[in-house]
Structure 1
Amino acid sequence: MINRPGARYGLLGLLVIVLLGIVAFFMSRPAQAPATPPTLEESTKLQSLTEVESKPLSRRTLDIQSWQTKGGARVLFVEAHELPMFDLRLTFAAGSSQDDGHPGVALMTNAMLNEGIPGKDVTAIAEGFEGLGAAFGNGSYRDMAVVSLRSLSDETLSEPSLALFDQVIGQPTFPEDSLQRIKNQILASLEQQKQDPGKLANNALFQHLYGEHPYGHPSDGTPESIAALTVDQLRAFHTRAYSAGNAVIALVGDMTRAQAEAMAERVSGALPQGPALASLPEPQSPEAAVHHIEYPSAQTHLLFAQLGIERGDPDQAALTLGNQILGGGGFGARLMEEVREKRGLTYGVYSGFSGMAARGPFTISLQTRAEQSQGTLDLVRDIVRTFLADGPTQKEVDDAKRQLVGSFPLSTASNADIAAQLGSIGFYDLPLDYLEDFMNQVQALTVEQVKSAMSQHLDPDNFVVVTAGPTVEQKPLPPPSAKPAQQPSTVPEH
């Protein structure tokens, strides 16, 4: 008997063709009207990107409650039962601006809080939080120091977590061996900074901008000041700056108002009892000048600064929007467009207002080729001068509003984010509706209001400038072009 595979494969092929024809027939039939109307989820799907502008933003409404503990701590609380946990954040006026002649004491005190308590060393403390599923955090800045706790709200876990946290913030022992270890870590970091022209430039910028003001010295101290710090100085700083009257307590999470009040009183009572520290003095505007740090590198760091605003300034919304257009909005901002996109002089250039307890800085920062640093410096000045003179366009204002409003929900995306916002609201004595009111102000701003605020608070001829790089022969800048002939030659230095 003879096998005939060719005929068998031919029949299979014919069957496949018939099946494909049936599928094509049904796919080509016109769609039937749905038997039921589309669901709400289906009907609200975007059909075009042009709909984005008209759709309301989904953002979290915060019901912020506030009171004061018996010890004088201000409390801000948001009840949130979506997750079985809470975030507790303490903010103290205990940043480097309170160093009081001992640069680095604020940083060191904050870093040493969880190094030892009666009966426990740093390892036992870390294991204690970890074993309870809790997370401890701390940090020190120019204005403030923060300490935080995240814990599950189940009382069998939250109770021992709070007990340990209370000891860390209220009874730190500042052990000598830990002090020496952290000193060595900071001294090593300071030594590394000598190889970082950006860090050298930033420290110099604050020194030249603020002079003898408490913001003027490095937040992390100097090799001499760090080496000289003693345990007694840390204890004295803790007693003075980590007092209940100097604290803001932010609470967000799975608890009632009554539970929040009890927790706040407990935490406040665990702290040293004392008043808030005195407000910082107002800084004096320095004379405009250019200061150079000689450093062997292919690129030069350019840092511009002048005194800006206090946090909560009436013009903050207008200045935030104006800066978004000038240099805070990334690609599309004036500085980025003119310096990077049209001339290829840098990977990135950024500007920003840092509102602080006293007048914080307005800064512009970038890196560029050493041989074009002077031309780039002059170009940045000219861009600022033109922007202040002419103001933004209506399109720029509209685009910047969309960017700010679109990113706003991220500021309250998690309970930890909300706790951080509450800490700032309490620390800077802002109104409880500050976040909502701020975005409403942004939405209502006009081109003229933005121009007026920016020109009132900034002067293109009043910058303190610090440059860090080599002294080399300067070359002219390339003309602006849609496609710059030369792109930045190296990865930005750090």
Structure 2
Amino acid sequence: MSGAQGFSLPIKVVEAGGISAWLVEDHAVPVVSVSWAWRGGAALDPAGQEGAAVMAAALLTEGAGPLPATAFADALRDQAIGLSFSAARDDFEGGFRTLVPALPEAVRLSALAMSEPRLDEEAVTRVRARAVAAARRTLETPGGQARRAFWAEAFPDHPAGRPSGGTPESLTALPPDAIRAALARQVRREGLLVTAAGAITERELADLLPRLFAGLPAGAPPATPPLPPFRRFGQKVVPVDAPQSSALFGQPGLAVDDPDWEAAQVMIRVLAGGGFASRLMQSVREKRGLAYGIGANLDTLFKQAVIVGSVATENARVAETLAVTREEWARMAAEGPTDEEMADAVAYLTGSLPLQFTDSRRVSDALLALRQNDRPPEWLAGRPARLAALGRERVAAVAKRLLAPAELSVVVAGQPVGL
């Protein structure tokens, strides 16, 4: 690694057993992290079986092969191995972090979890109860109601519009066979994206890959349905009996491979992503005291980004808060950022980049995110120069291209006054 202006990582590409992996080798600490993912996740759940992928991921560490849940957990704990799996809207991920002496055991237990999951009745019952409770808690808050309604309105005929973790109803009715089917279609030998970081050589990683994944069934997961255009839906109120309302607001963004990706990141940081320095925070909180916090970012799904923001405030202040938000949206679309705002945003995005790579797990996960967005290995090294080359005019043009204040879609959950 080097200074922020010339920050880069020595990414090596390792091929073995038909699998390609990215590696950042670093022997400063005797720790190895390996991350992997398949495209799919909750997007592959059949209608009515929402939550199958999320439950399947949770159950992979609840016993495997001859080891029931407690014995499997003890085996991980005894070697200080951190192993986890998760499913999101459009991917299914796994990964472990381990000390070098425990690396063979980490590989063995990870491979066993993926190739021979037990799905014991007791474990399924426990994981289901936890998932149902989480889904119910989400619906008990205005923020949870707003998020669910926003995505359902934006993508009504696509898996992106469904709760990726399932609903209390879908989780309760989910049969064990549906969980097994989720694993069967998702956890495959092909379609893998793999990254590694830490005290491991190229040769050692090449030897590890077949042992980690060879026991999986051949083939790749099914393709996910392409994301349709964001459906603008105006303003929707979800009645919730609460003293505060939560609002989600958003609009279409751009593809992750769009040439203006970095310009859009700079624009969003100035408008809504820069903490107290952002225009929305200044106008909504600092000048008017309408809300404790407000912000927006580029939410990436299916290799597309949606501009999504949120705010929570008293019911009586919702209308004014949204009016101010639209004003700032319009001002950015019309004028773009100032030179000073540009300089501050570029400096932050450049200077904060190395903070994403402070340990082996973060390095491995960050590399995986790059692969999931189809970035080439050299993309990271070129990012500081691309940011530095941005001019105010280009960012202003991107703001004008992307931001549509009159068509900003908003969901408010609560009892807002005047809407």
Structure-to-structure mapping, 1:310-321, within 5 angstroms: 310-321=255-266
Residue among 379, 392, 415 paired with 2:360: 415
- Report the CA distance between 1:279 and its aligned residue: 4.4
- Report the CA distance between 1:151 and its aligned residue: 1.3
| 1:132 correspondence with 2:75 | no
Structure number with greater Rg is 1
In structure 1, what is the equivalent of residue 162 of structure 2? 217
- Report the CA distance between 1:276 and its aligned residue: 4.5
In structure 1, what is the equivalent of residue 98 of structure 2? 151
- Report the CA distance between 1:458 and its aligned residue: 2.4
Structure-to-structure mapping, 1:395-406, within 5 angstroms: 395-406=340-351
Q: Which amino acid aligns with 2:95?
A: S
- Report the CA distance between 1:420 and its aligned residue: 0.5
Change (3 A) 1:438 1:57: closer
Distance 2:21 2:167 in 1: 35
Native 8 Å contact 1:94 1:242 kept in 2: no
Residue among 47, 57, 62 paired with 2:4: 57
| 1:235 correspondence with 2:180 | yes
Which one scores higher on RCO, CA 8 angstroms, separation ≥ 6? 2
Distance 2:317 2:99 in 1: 55
Deviations 1:266-320, CA, capped at 9 Å, x for gaps: 2121322212432431312313311101112222212101122233332110011
Native 8 Å contact 1:74 1:426 kept in 2: no
In structure 2, what is the equivalent of residue 97 of structure 1? 43
Q: Which amino acid aligns with 2:76?
A: F
In structure 2, what is the equivalent of residue 461 of structure 1? 406
Q: Which amino acid aligns with 1:258?
A: R
TM-score, scaled to structure 2? 0.95
Distance 2:40 2:232 in 1: 29
Structure-to-structure mapping, 1:327-476, within 5 angstroms: 327-472=272-417
Q: Which amino acid aligns with 2:307?
A: F
Aligned residues: 417
Residue among 256, 265, 268 paired with 2:210: 265
Native 8 Å contact 2:6 2:381 kept in 1: no
TM-score, scaled to structure 1? 0.81
Native 8 Å contact 2:155 2:161 kept in 1: yes
- Report the CA distance between 1:124 and its aligned residue: 0.9
Change (3 A) 1:56 1:240: closer
Moved more, 457-466 or 124-133: 457-466
Deviations 1:352-411, CA, capped at 9 Å, x for gaps: 012332423211111122112112112111110011101110010001111112211101
Residue among 217, 231, 236 paired with 1:291: 236
Distance 1:302 1:85 in 2: 42
Structure 2 counterpart SS, 1:360: strand
Change (3 A) 1:389 1:444: same
Change (3 A) 1:133 1:58: farther
Native 8 Å contact 2:108 2:212 kept in 1: no
Q: Which amino acid aligns with 2:137?
A: Q
In structure 2, what is the equivalent of residue 167 of structure 1? 112
Distance 1:198 1:249 in 2: 34
Structure 2 counterpart SS, 1:304: strand
Q: Which amino acid aligns with 1:77?
A: L
Alignment gaps of 5+ in structure 1: 1-54, 475-494
Moved more, 158-167 or 330-339: 158-167
Q: Which amino acid aligns with 2:71?
A: A
In structure 2, what is the equivalent of residue 113 of structure 1? 60
Residue among 60, 70, 83 paired with 2:29: 83
Change (3 A) 1:279 1:310: farther
In structure 2, what is the equivalent of residue 15 of structure 1? none
In structure 2, what is the equivalent of residue 300 of structure 1? 245
Structure 1 counterpart SS, 2:90: coil
In structure 2, what is the equivalent of residue 74 of structure 1? 20
Q: Which amino acid aligns with 2:61?
A: N
Deviations 1:208-254, CA, capped at 9 Å, x for gaps: 11111120100111122112222222222212111121221111121
Distance 1:56 1:472 in 2: 51
Native 8 Å contact 1:309 1:356 kept in 2: no
Distance 1:360 1:177 in 2: 39
More strand by share: 2
Distance 2:338 2:220 in 1: 49
- Report the CA distance between 1:140 and its aligned residue: 2.0
Change (3 A) 1:458 1:58: closer
Deviations 1:321-357, CA, capped at 9 Å, x for gaps: 1111001010111101111110000111101012332
Distance 2:210 2:256 in 1: 28
Distance 1:376 1:228 in 2: 40
Over the aligned positions, Cα root-mean-square deviation in angstroms equals: 1.9
Distance 2:229 2:372 in 1: 23
- Report the CA distance between 1:120 and its aligned residue: 0.8
Deviations 1:167-193, CA, capped at 9 Å, x for gaps: 012211211221111111111222222
Structure 2 counterpart SS, 1:246: coil
Distance 2:130 2:63 in 1: 17
| 1:177 correspondence with 2:122 | yes
Change (3 A) 1:252 1:175: same
Deviations 1:415-449, CA, capped at 9 Å, x for gaps: 11110111112222211122222232111100011
Native 8 Å contact 1:288 1:461 kept in 2: no
In structure 2, what is the equivalent of residue 27 of structure 1? none
Change (3 A) 1:228 1:360: farther
Runs of 4+ displaced beyond 6 Å? none
Q: Which amino acid aligns with 2:59?
A: M
Alignment gaps of 5+ in structure 2: none
Change (3 A) 1:57 1:193: closer
